[in-house]
A and B are shown apart, each in its own frame.
Chain A
């Protein structure tokens, strides 16, 4: 499959997932501003497992750019990008290290935690107020839960696609 077509499909999938996610009323259960499941991370995890890091970065960047253009704004762009890149970085490192007793669950939790950490860093850069880090513990605890949920879905996706013929086709 042509790389550009493949990447376009991945971007669209991630975009649709992050759009649909907006309809899940998570804030009704967990009253934290800005909290979300981070289901678009499924695509990042999938790319890191099946393809390479550059592809993951490109797809992430284009997805966040389009998503901010369509639904968010410049602040959501900065927040999502710092969070997304940090999450991608830690997950890429953990996958490359190939730690045997570590599965997609731990990788997804680490990704979610670093995503929140990145967002707080962006908030600190914008607001210049150290108090924003006081919000981090709540986000970190929620990231354990959202990380597990994302891992469950990623696991489903990886299992469905882990068939030799399909892998050849997808490459």
Chain B
């Protein structure tokens, strides 16, 4: 007995269902959780932004002064160091932070951006 067209259809159905389901889970995993970016300077939290509440297309900018000045921009579910006057610019080169647990650090300015999940103990802006 050799496989016929019906066998390939069944294999294809199983495969496409598997892919659909995994696609659903991946897209759900990316959007279901609120991402909160916590910006701290000199070890103190200066701002916490809920990145999931920022609407798509909207941009928030935060200017931070210090030894050097830095501009942080936040968009829907992502945040980055837009620019910094520090010499090495490691923080800018880190690029967008999009997932829980990621962080970007600007050592000369002692600024840290860290992304946390919803269960953050930070829930309000303090400055």
Interface string of B10-38 (1 = CB under 8 A from A): 11001101110110010000000000000
Stretch at the interface among B1-9, B50-58, B62-70, B83-91: B1-9
A106-B7 in contact given A134-B25, A155-B1 (Cβ < 8 Å): yes
Whether B19 contacts A109 by the Cβ 8 Å rule is no
In the assembled complex, the Cα of A138 lies from the Cα of B25 at a distance in Å of 12
In the assembled complex, the Cα of A101 lies from the Cα of B3 at a distance in Å of 9
Dominant secondary structure of chain B at its interface with chain A: helix
Stretch at the interface among A35-43, A51-59, A67-75, A140-148: A140-148
Most B C-beta atoms less than 10 A away, residue of A99, A106, A113: A106
A: interface residue count bin: 20 to 34
- Among the listed A99, A133, A141, which residue makes an inter-chain contact with B6, where contact means beta carbons less than 8 Å apart? A99
Dominant secondary structure of chain A at its interface with chain B: helix
For the A-B complex with A105-B3, A105-B7 known, give 15 more contacts whose Cβ atoms are closer than 8 Å: A101-B5, A101-B6, A102-B7, A106-B3, A106-B8, A109-B10, A109-B14, A113-B14, A136-B21, A137-B21, A137-B22, A140-B14, A140-B15, A140-B18, A155-B1
CB-based A-B contact count at 8 angstroms: 63
Q: List 8 A-B contacts (CB under 8 A).
A: A103-B4, A103-B7, A105-B7, A137-B25, A143-B14, A144-B11, A147-B11, A155-B1
Query: In the complex, which residues of chain A have a beta carbon less than 8 angstroms from the beta carbon of B8?
Result: 106
CB within 8 Å of B: which residues of A? 99-107, 109-110, 113, 133-134, 136-138, 140-141, 143-144, 147, 155, 158-159
